[in-house]
Amino acid sequence: MTNSSPATKADATKLEQESRNATKAQLAEFWYYFSQNKGAVIGLVVFALLVFMAVFAPLIAPHDPDFQYRDSFLVPPVWQDGGKVAFLLGTDAVGRDILSRLIFGAQFSLFIGVVVVTIALTGGIVIGLVAGYMRGTVDTFIMRVMDVILAFPSLLLALVLVAILGPGLMNAMIAIAIVLQPHFVRLTRAAVLAERSRDYVIAAKVAGAGHLRLMFKTILPNCLAPLIVQATLSFSNAILDAAALGFLGMGAQPPTPEWGTMLAEAREFILRAWWVVTFPGLAILITVLAINLVGDGLRDALDPKLKRS
């Protein structure tokens, strides 16, 4: 039954063109609403700069982040008495350039965000889809397990998981991903429950689509909006939690220039050298704030309820 008359072909091309135009129009609409939110645009620009900084860290950083200048311990920032032009933001207790460490630290923070969100999102979507699609005992079991994870404060659970897995950046990321996952599971499940009895899903089912196709190709694309917003928020949470674990000595280990770990190393100097404490924290705050601004903008642009108001 292969029908490839010219008319059908033309129809198919036209349909394809239309769908492409529709996607374009959707993107344009999305950008319109996103760019209405000035904070979100600023956040996006800052975030882009951070990505640039992380990617080109070896080219931008004035010094090797781990090199210890033995003649320059705790040099203050350049604008303060005793500051040196070579060390714009000063040096730490063992003579390492803080600016270079911050620039390299951006690599770690963004890497943490990407890895954690990827693990949590993938796991969350699969588990949530299964729960929402299967219903019954599977659903109940999955949701009770998620309730258990959510019954613990996230940082405490992450700390305990790291105690089991052993301190280190990789294990900290796994722990944070496990702790953040239930949010994705709940969101996906709720979205699937709302979508599964809609006409287009039933039509696909009647047309003979298998379970996997129904779950991943038919339902999932229509549940993405809340997941994207949650992914952005989890990205910033992951950076914060990883920094907190680093600060408590359970995340990245010294001499890694991870911002939280840098803060932990700097703690004993807080009353003597304000700059060793101030800049790493400021870097965390700026990064997290930029991502949260983007997250707010995405929510405004993707949530149809807010668009109308």
Binding segment toward other proteins, per CB under 8 A, in 44-52, 68-76, 113-121, 237-245: 237-245
**Hey, how many other C-beta atoms are within 10 angstroms of the C-beta on 45?**
13
Does residue 284 belong to the site contacting other proteins (CB under 8 A)? yes
**Hey, how many other C-beta atoms are within 10 angstroms of the C-beta on 61?**
18
Distances (CA, A) of 198 to 40, 191, 193, 201: 33, 12, 10, 6
Residue closest to 121 by CA, chosen among 43, 222, 235, 25: 235
Q: Is the peptide bond prior to 76 cis by the omega test (within 30 degrees of 0)?
A: no
Q: Residue 99 CB, nearest distance to other proteins (Å)?
A: 18
Does residue 136 belong to the site contacting other proteins (CB under 8 A)? no
Binding segment toward other proteins, per CB under 8 A, in 13-21, 96-104, 129-137, 275-283: 275-283
Report the alpha-carbon distance of residue 295 to residue 301 in Å, rounded: 10
Does residue 253 belong to the site contacting other proteins (CB under 8 A)? no
Report the alpha-carbon distance of residue 213 to residue 205 in Å, rounded: 9
Distances (CA, A) of 301 to 26, 29, 45, 288: 11, 8, 17, 20
Does residue 240 belong to the site contacting other proteins (CB under 8 A)? yes
Binding segment toward other proteins, per CB under 8 A, in 59-67, 129-137, 197-205, 264-272: 264-272
Helical packing angle, 274-302 and 259-266, nearest 10°: 150
Q: How many residues bind other proteins (CB under 8 A)?
A: 43
Q: Residue 173 CB, nearest distance to other proteins (Å)?
A: 17
The whole-angstrom distance between residue 110's C-alpha and the CA centroid of its chain comes to 8
Does residue 263 belong to the site contacting other proteins (CB under 8 A)? yes
Q: Residue 116 CB, nearest distance to other proteins (Å)?
A: 16
For the chain, give percent helix, strand, coil, nearest 5: 75, 0, 25
Interaction with other proteins in 6-65: which residues (CB under 8 A)? Answer: 39
Binding segment toward other proteins, per CB under 8 A, in 18-26, 58-66, 197-205, 287-295: 287-295
Does residue 243 belong to the site contacting other proteins (CB under 8 A)? yes
Q: Two tokens at 280?
A: 């790493």
Residue tagged 């005992």 (tokens): 137
Binding segment toward other proteins, per CB under 8 A, in 2-10, 46-54, 147-155, 183-191: 147-155
Q: Which residues bind other proteins (CB under 8 A)?
A: 39, 144-145, 147-148, 151-157, 159-160, 163-164, 166, 236, 240, 243-244, 247-250, 260, 263, 267, 270-271, 274, 277-278, 280-281, 284-285, 288-289, 292-293, 296, 309
